[in-house]
A and B are shown apart, each in its own frame.
Chain A
């Protein structure tokens, strides 16, 4: 009997480990350093998504209004998960959502927005990922809440219920 229980037991243990790793894969996995600073937003010039026009960052952000810069890509699975929250936030009156399309193919990005709707006022393109680097982004997705040209909140990984409520609280 002893010989039979041991393999079963060990197999179960490994299944549990497998399950945890599997779940862990879907979590955002980035260690978040706590920063309370309000940093100035970096200035940049970038191409607008699906057009030839270029835009300066100073033309996007006005004082006295909240902006949410959201770094996303069609190939990023967690972006799909946070998308409903973005759609919900896009209905807020005093908040504009700016999309930063990160290292993406235009067709895929279009398909993504067609399928899930477009929450963004403006989408800027970041083909080689350099703008994201200047923002100090850790990866995709990542969101920055901006007020008076300062970053007041940084959300690393997908927006979840918790961070969604916090954003709502902040922009009241």
Chain B
């Protein structure tokens, strides 16, 4: 029943799309006043998508296996929480979530853009409707979440156990808010370009949307990364997996856009940058959807390898690309006549430098992700691009990037000279000394490392100082940049200082190293609602005699019948202790992996800080203007 309501709401919502297009075109031609009927129609469209989404959630909650999506991804013994989160944990449901966010955002956009001109609002709505209609057709034609199966199966196939996790329950919605938020930026930029509407006021208005999607995208990536850290059991947090790259690419584009829009808002320069970046952010999000959903790349996120779906997104994606190219080349007039009269040492230059670095990082990630596909098509040779590629190409360039990030915010618009040279140099010397000291004491001698640590410390100290000297002027930028320096430092020290031990142990055995002793005390069994758990009890004693108990788990899920290994992680502000245990085939031994990961928690905190900076900037706008 719920499925049926869901399905018909979906169809109704689609009809409203057509109505909106019809009314918008009429309104665009005829009158000068914005027709409020259109807002009502958008609201109705949104409501129908909500209804449809609720229908799907209810089908999941009541385990209605006559619905194919529910049958494929749910099971009666699954806890209620995961039944609900299972709604968007699959291809069909997650597309419905896309639609939900698409319609929600355009509705909010219309409500919050009353001071803009009628033409601009309607054109934005029209571009957004093109995207929405595209997704409607995609959902209804190739990935209908409400397919009926008969005879009705008595039991479902269950959700992949590694997806049964609280972090992963909220990861897709948050990430989608970021991805789809960029659709508004995309449509409004196209509208503004067509109408030649790009101005400082427009920049101010669209900046909020950029900030919102940027914050959600940052948080979404963070949650995904935290999940990978504790669930996948390798103790890493970023694997340069295609799926991660696919979320990183729009983030890089969006971050660059965020910096450009500031220039546009203050100086009416870099308009071409803004237009191109707005277009590429959204197309990169779509491209990501294509890469992971079509099965052209293989990963945890590939739900099904259905060539029809891939083909549809591919064609849709390139229609959008060609549409935007057409608009860009035929309507865009670069307003940056002012742009040439800035001095080489100025804020504009530093932001341009930032842009080019970001584009470089983006290109590296893009090539690393897509090149294997190209190579396979052209030479039918299979390669896989791994972390070494990214590390070699990205890390060296972080050094000048960090320096630019430190100096840039100190500069003024148009023409500037460095003030406080004394301070800047003192801090540079302090950072250099500090990093030499650290390198010496840790006994590693890489020039690159010391340079990188110096640069990161430099940014760290300078931004830290800003908190005190600059009072609250530009606080959001200080927070984000400070967070970034903290992120680089934590990742660096985490990489340098991590230790790992892999060994096979029987119950009762002890593994001894110079630094600590691991004792495998016992195992216990526990029955949960949809899995059996084997819990190991390990005591780890360090050289000072402190004992820590770690309880890694093996979970044997009933449906589908899969064994997963749950890491036990003891976190404090200095270091994480991370242990996983695995079965060794046909033996009494367990494979134990014990890792110490220093400063892990600071990686998460620093990313939170980066997004907090964005949030601060968003809130500031509200009461200052």
Chain A residues close to B by CB (< 8 Å): 3, 6-7, 10-11, 14, 18, 20-27, 29-32, 75, 77, 128-130, 133, 138-140
Contacts and interface: CB of A to CB of B under 8 A. Distances in A.
Given A23-B377, A29-B305, A77-B307, A133 B560 contact: yes
B298 interface: yes
Contacts, number: 64
Nearest to B377: A23
A32 B376 CA distance: 13
Contact of B376 (A24, A128, A138): A24
Nearest to A22: B314
Contacts of A14: 318, 321-322, 325
A137 B545 CA distance: 48
Contacts of B290: 21
Nearest to B318: A18
B562 to A, nearest CB: 8
Given A22-B311, A25-B307, A29-B295, 19 more contacts: A3-B329, A7-B325, A10-B325, A11-B322, A11-B325, A21-B290, A24-B296, A24-B374, A24-B377, A25-B294, A25-B311, A27-B376, A29-B305, A29-B376, A30-B298, A31-B298, A128-B157, A133-B562, A139-B295
A32 B382 CA distance: 9
Contacts of B322: 11, 14
Top-4 shortest CB links A-B: A7-B329, A23-B377, A24-B373, A25-B310
A30 B311 CA distance: 18
A31 B561 CA distance: 24
A7 B324 CA distance: 12
A129 B71 CA distance: 13
Interface in B361-377: 373-374, 376-377
A14 B319 CA distance: 11
Contacts of A31: 298, 382, 384
Given A14-B322, A14-B325, A32-B382, A21 B298 contact: no
Nearest to B291: A21
Nearest to A10: B325
A136 B130 CA distance: 42
B464 interface: no
B297 interface: yes
A25 B296 contact: yes
Contacts of B307: 25-26, 77
Given A20-B374, A24-B377, A128-B157, A29 B321 contact: no
A23 B380 CA distance: 11
Given A77-B307, A128-B157, A21 B314 contact: yes
B297 A20 contact: no
Given A14-B318, A29-B305, A128-B157, A21 B325 contact: no
Interface in B560-611: 560-562
Residue from the set B298, B305, B325, B376 with the largest chain A CB neighbour count within 10 Å: B305
A32 B297 CA distance: 12
Contacts of B306: 75
Contacts of A138: 298
Interface in B381-412: 382, 384
Contacts of A26: 307
A14 B297 CA distance: 20
Nearest to B149: A105
Nearest to B308: A77
Contacts of B310: 25
Contacts of B297: 29
Interface string B307-334: 1001100100010011001000100000
Contacts of A6: 329
A97 B523 CA distance: 45
Nearest to A23: B377
Contact of B296 (A10, A29, A32, A139): A29
5 contacts: A3-B329, A11-B322, A18-B314, A29-B376, A130-B561
A81 B30 CA distance: 55
Contacts of B296: 21, 24-25, 29
A79 B463 CA distance: 59
Nearest to B157: A128
B286 to A, nearest CB: 12
A32 B322 CA distance: 35
Nearest to A162: B380
A119 B329 CA distance: 55
Contact of B314 (A3, A25, A128): A25
B309 to A, nearest CB: 10
A24 B321 CA distance: 19
A165 to B, nearest CB: 15
B298 A29 contact: yes
A20 B382 CA distance: 15
A107 to B, nearest CB: 13
Nearest to A21: B314
Nearest to B297: A29
Contacts of A3: 329
A18 B311 CA distance: 10
B377 A27 contact: yes
Given A20-B374, A21-B373, A31-B382, A130 B325 contact: no
B283 to A, nearest CB: 10
A29 B314 CA distance: 16
